[in-house]
Amino acid sequence: MFNAQGSSTNKGVTLRNIAYMRGLRLLLSPLSIIQNAGSVNREKCREHEMQPFWDRVLTAQQQESIGHFYLRGGFDFSRLTARDKVLMKMLKVKLQRTKERTEDEQGMLDAYDTPVDFSDRENIRPLIEFIQK
């Protein structure tokens, strides 16, 4: 997994040393529930809003050679570890203190009380097609 700066928690692998991975088929897929979480049409994903993320973590050349996909996930507070619950409670307090919330922020707050799942098998079709090439 890579963070927004291109760093990875997996054995020191980063996008900065990607040249050492020549010959490997690579793909990158962030997971999130935030995209459009509070909207009425929760199935629609604003994939075009992911482009700034892709531009930040991948060069133009890397975007051509590395498969990159956005997959929406879910959130169930009750299933988190104790450590993650503490971190998410801090986020919840921050969100609650926000006076003018975005749709996404309100959707995230709502998900603390009602688990959400935006995963859909249909969303993995482009990823499967990439792997089958």
Alpha helices in 39-81 (DSSP H): 51-57, 60-65
Percent of the chain at pLDDT > 70 equals 68
CA distance 67 to 25: 8
Q: What is the pLDDT of residues 5-49, one digit of tens each?
A: 444 444 445 666 667 776 777 777 775 655 444 443 334 456 667
128 burial type by CB count under 10 A (0-12 exposed, 13-18 middle, 19+ buried):
exposed
Of 111, 90, 94, which Cα lies nearest the Cα of 35? 111
Q: Please tell me whether the overall predicted TM-score, pTM, comes out greater than 0.75 for this model.
A: no
